[in-house]
Amino acid sequence: MRDAEKHTDAIFSRIRRNGCVLMLDFDGTLAPLTPEPGRARMRAGTRRALEVVARRYPVAVITGRALSDVRARVPIRGISFAGNHGLELSVRGKVHRVRLSKISQRALDAIRVCMRSLARRYKGVYFQDKRHSLSLHYRHSPRREHAAIRAEAVKAIRETGGLRVVEGIYVINILPGVRHDKGTAAREMYASLSQGKKRVPVFIGDDVTDEDAFRALKKGITIRVGKSSSSAALYYVRSRAGVDRFLNTLINGTQR
């Protein structure tokens, strides 16, 4: 991985030449991580910068959050969204949701009961019901219990069947067994928002789930928040503050 802030000339010369479609994760990328997902908010400076960028380039937020949730947290005109790891899309205001089979819906209903029970039994575990998918957050449970929480959750999910596990940083995401992830969402968003032009796809994310998008956009500009030798991203910024600096450079450094 290369330090994005040491390669700004190479990154922004591509964008100046061809324009871009900017896609970003929400938690840990646009907003600081919080103890409870419901408390996550963009900082004022991030929001202002994103508003300006969205007036110049197509922008999409691609997240594991429910579509209604992320749209409420990013109330900026003109931005498109992919929620629930690509199961819900809002592209230029037009909404599409992947229709789940009865088998998938029954599996989600069954595991929902199990995960609620698990969250009640372990201190510091937060269960997030996003209707089309579920998440079990255990970042704030005692570290000595992490392995037991994860093992119990994964065992229940596998025994239920018909579901897919996407693990993130201290979170277990539970999705129906259909092939939709941040990678497929990023490709769909790029195809829709580029409008046939050879714009550069840019994706910024911080979590394990964002690796699907990094891999899907190998010819684009992919940036991870935090350096990781195992990441498929081409570049990294050292912290979430680096995302704000990237947005401001995109505003000030790509004017023709």
Active site residues: 25
Neighbours of 14 (CB within 10 A): 17
List CB contacts of 33: < 8 A, sequence separation 6 or more: 27, 40
Q: Which DSSP category does 191 fall into?
A: H
Amino acid letter, residue 101: S
CB 76 within 8 A of CB 46: no
DSSP string, 199-210: PEEEEEE-SGGG
Residue 176: phi and psi, rounded to 5, are -65, 155
For the purposes of burial, counting CB atoms within 10 Å of the CB of 9, is it exposed (0-12), middle (13-18) or buried (19 or more)? exposed
Residue found by looking up tokens 């409870």 in the block: 36
